[in-house]
Amino acid sequence: MAIAIEVYQWSSAEFPREHAVVYTSVNDKSKFSIFRTSVNPEKVLVRLADSFCDDHPIRVNVELIAERDNNGYFNYRVVRLVEAGFSDSRSSIHYDKVNLVSKFWETRLCSFTVGPGINKKIWGVRHEYPFGLRKDTGFYVEITCHKEKGLSAQHRGPFKSLHPETLLGIRREIYGEPPTSINEFVESEFIGNEYMLFQGEGRGNSATEASARVTVNNTAAQFQGNGNGSRYQNCYVVMNHKASKATN
């Protein structure tokens, strides 16, 4: 399948740095995907909206929130992910890492991975697409929390997934926003599965305050203890998160 690749960069009132990678089918303009990153010192939003699959769209939102501590230094407050459309059995969910896999036109697989680096100071978001034999492509975002400057994001790609240092040559760089219809797709609301990957002990003043309710499926699970110090084995945990409104 032939695709056109466009890389957009712009700024908005809320986010001084906006970045988007858009794949569009050359033969069918209704088939496209957008991988959008929005960055300010207190929040990074990474959003994927994909319409390549015939039977269902793929949607992912990743939100990273930073907050100043009592010394005035930035620290991570919340890292969470909401997804819909990934249903392959090879997907895996860990307490601080998510690897999502979905069938691409029922023939090949695409993946979306979020996870921390050493000491959770850096978080990485990676997405890979199959566009034919030896034409797999990918891109990567590395999010860092600097204690004085707050959050920042470094982009790599789109590149050939088998050669991470080789940028794809068939692409167009644009200083401006993606088309309105594509932006509306990635900004629209959706219902999905939510995972809290990190929740710090902040002061509670961030725009997104974590309030998680945890449900444990006891099938084939083993418990030891109660509260802190408990041990859980073979437990399937679902976390439902509701963000409170910001207070002035």
**Residues 129-170 pLDDT 10s:** 776 555 677 888 999 999 999 999 998 877 776 555 555 555
Helix ranges (H only) for the chain are: 180-187
**Per-residue tokens: 45:** 């939003």
pLDDT of residue 218: 40
HSE (side-chain half, CA atoms, 13 Å) at 79: 21
Nearest-angstrom CA–CA distance, 145 and 66: 7
Amino acid at 240: N
pLDDT of residue 139: 85
Amino acid at 210: A
- What is the separation of C-alpha 52 from the centre of its chain, rounded to a whole number of angstroms? 18
pLDDT of residue 89: 66
Tell me the backbone φ, ψ of residue 172, rounded to 5 degrees.
Answer: -130, 130
The residue that leads in pLDDT, 113 or 242, is 113
| Percent of the chain residues topping a pLDDT of 90 | 39
pLDDT of residue 62: 96
* 3-state SS, residue 122: strand
Using 50, 70 and 90 to split pLDDT, how confident is the model at 172? confident
Using 50, 70 and 90 to split pLDDT, how confident is the model at 117? confident
**Per-residue tokens: 222:** 């083993």
Amino acid at 24: T
| Contact between 3 and 131 (Cβ < 8 Å) | yes
Tell me the backbone φ, ψ of residue 186, rounded to 5 degrees.
Answer: -75, -25
Using 50, 70 and 90 to split pLDDT, how confident is the model at 8? very high
pLDDT of residue 56: 75
pTM for the full model? 0.76
Q: Where are the domains of the chain?
A: 3-207
**Residues 189-230 pLDDT 10s:** 888 888 899 988 765 544 444 333 333 444 444 444 444 445
Q: Which of 117, 131, 158 is nearest to 19 (CA)?
A: 158
**Residues 21-65 pLDDT 10s:** 998 888 888 888 899 999 999 999 999 998 877 667 889 999 999
